[in-house]
Amino acid sequence: MAATRTPESAVTSAAPLSGRQFVLENAGARAEVGSLAAVLRSLTVDGIHLTEPIGDDVIAPMGCGIVLAPWPNRVRDALWYLEGEPQQLDITEPPRRNAIHGLLRNTAYRVLAQDASSVTLGALIAPQHGWPFLLDTSVRYQVEPDGLTVTHGVQNLSSHRAAWAVGAHPYFRVGDVPVERLTVTLTAEVRIQLDERSNPATQHPVDDPDAGGPGDLRAGLPLAGLTLDSPYGRLANRDGRADVAWLTAPDGGTTTLWADPAFGWIQAYTPQEFPRPTGPGPAVALEPMTAPPDALNSGTGLIWLEPGEGWSASWGVRYERTTN
């Protein structure tokens, strides 16, 4: 029992803290999924970890592997406007007074379909504080021989049109190679600067020398000493499904994030104190998102669904051993 009680460390329990568990396999690839927030707990190809693995007995640390719906990242002041009417969401990030990562973080999804290599999980979003829409959402994890395809779906069951955005919060790995020895490449052409409450301030071309911070990752940069915490846009997938970001190890092994055009944004985040059984250390989240932070206010990337309308789109991850 840890002395410090946080949602991430306080509880051990008789039942998995990430809900009902699923193991998916296809050839040498294997994924482990928990029903709570439809969390991706582990993904390996031939035993090589493509994501930060987390146990079934922890609450996803730093959002690791969870699904972010019906919005990823933050809504400033937890407040937005629908046709002029203020919508006050619950404040789920009290220190910064924002609403963060949607409404399904503490929800155990139900199983809609399952076979040896895939599982489809569903969760209903009922009308609630600041969210006057009824949405039937789903996530399908399909393990491929070289990785994983994740398909997010939604249907608007409201009698009026509904706003929608979605994302996921994977932290990537290239096997056992320490994160600080990896190179990160991001195909983004723009980056959004954040303010002190982590809400969007200004958007810049990644090569704008006055924008500050690490911007241009198109040619790849070593992760050692690099601190990332920004949304990136104008990715390589604007004209169709494409690779949008990748991590490369010194031995040439590469973990690649690909995405449909709907996933037009990536939040890059490099905490230095990611908790692991071996102790805290650097980690790198590359979060595919259909919209940038605070999209409910800016409208950028926001998807509007007519009554009865359904939507789906995919992203995925692939491992390649290349020679260099």
Partner 1 sequence: MGRALRKDDELTDILPTGRGVVLERGGVRAEIGSVAAVLRSLTVNGADLTLPIPADRAPAMCNGIILSPWPNRVRAGRWVLDGEPQQLDITEPERGGALHGLLQFAEYDVTEQSTDAVTLTSTIYPQHGWPFLVETRVRYGLEPDGLTVTHGARNLSTVRAPYATGSHPYLKVGDAPIADLELTVPASTYFAVDERLDPTGEVEVAGTPYDVRTPQRVGGLAFDTAFGGVQHAEIADGRGDVAWLTAPDGSRTTLWQSTEWGYVQVFTTHLMPSADGPIDAIAIEPMTAPPDALNSGQGLIWIEPGASWEGSWGLRYAGGA
Q: Which residue ranges make up the site for partner 1 (CB under 8 A)?
A: 1, 4-7, 10-15, 17, 19, 36, 59, 78, 88, 90-92, 94-95, 103, 105-108, 110, 123-129, 132, 134, 136, 155, 157, 159, 260-262, 305-306, 308-314
Please say whether the beta carbons of 34 and 41 come within 8 A: yes
Tokens 């926001």, residue located: 302
CA distance 124 to 138: 9
- Least distance from C-beta 31 to partner 1, angstroms? 21
Closest to partner 1 by CB, 128 or 272 = 128
Closest to partner 1 by CB, 108 or 236 = 108
CA distance 14 to 37: 19
Closest to partner 1 by CB, 94 or 209 = 94
Residues 6+ apart with CB under 8 A from 94: none
- Least distance from C-beta 294 to partner 1, angstroms? 17
CA distance 263 to 53: 24
- Least distance from C-beta 317 to partner 1, angstroms? 17
Nearest C-alpha neighbor of 131 from the set 70, 189, 185, 195: 70
Closest to partner 1 by CB, 181 or 238 = 238
Please say whether the beta carbons of 133 and 124 come within 8 A: no
Closest to partner 1 by CB, 67 or 125 = 125
- Least distance from C-beta 18 to partner 1, angstroms? 8
Nearest C-alpha neighbor of 257 from the set 182, 204, 318: 318
Residues 6+ apart with CB under 8 A from 280: 272, 273, 274
- Least distance from C-beta 121 to partner 1, angstroms? 13
Closest to partner 1 by CB, 1 or 219 = 1
Tokens for 39?
Answer: 């969390």
- Least distance from C-beta 147 to partner 1, angstroms? 18
**78 CB neighbour count, 10 Å cutoff:** 22
